[in-house]
Structures are given as structure tokens and as C-alpha cells.
Amino acid sequence: MLRYTLMRLGIFVGCFVVVWGLVYSGVVPRGLGDSNGMWVLLLSLVISAPISFVVLRKERDRASEQIVQKVDRVKANLDANRSQEDVADDAARTQGAS
């Protein structure tokens, strides 16, 4: 998961540098007034999102498999805890009835 996040961040930073260069060289128009930094940031996000979606498909699938495995483990632990509580509860009721 960390690897995917770092790769995604790298793509964003690369897009940010390219957009920043294009804006300051005059190829892409600047933002209005003091909004130039926000313009570069938003444009970088819009450009990096589809690139990340296509380029990082395999890495995203690996990360989602890891998340699914962790969720399944947590669910199994919760079920095991529930069954232990049920057994203890049943034992206490049986002793109380005697």
C-alpha cells in the first residue's frame, strides 16, 4: 500500500513540475491574480489522476488484495471472539442453572 501511495505521489510531483514549467514559460495561461499556485496545483491533480489510473493499475490491484486480506483477517478474529464469548456465556448459564 505504501508503495502505491509513493508511486502515486511521484506521478503527481512529476505532473506538478511539468505544469509549473509550462505555466512559467507561458505555454499554459497563468491563474488570475494570486491564484496561480492553486491553478498549477489543480491542473496537476487533473492531469495526474488519469495517468495514475492507467499506469498504476497492477500496483493498485496488489494494494487492494492486501486490504482485502487484512479485512478478512479482522473479520475472522471478530468471529472467533464472538464464538468464545458465546461458549463462555453458555457455560455460565449452565452453571447458574445447576
For residue 16 the three cell numbers come to 506538478
- What is the tens place of the pLDDT at every residue in 13-56? 999 999 999 988 888 887 776 678 888 999 999 999 999 999 99
Residue 86 pLDDT > 80, yes or no?
Answer: no
The 3-class secondary structure across the chain, one letter per residue, is CHHHHHHHHHHHHHHHHHHHHHHHHCCCCCCCCCCHHHHHHHHHHHHHHHHHHHHCHHHHHHHHHHHHHHHHHHHHHHHHHHHHHHHHHHHHHHHHHC
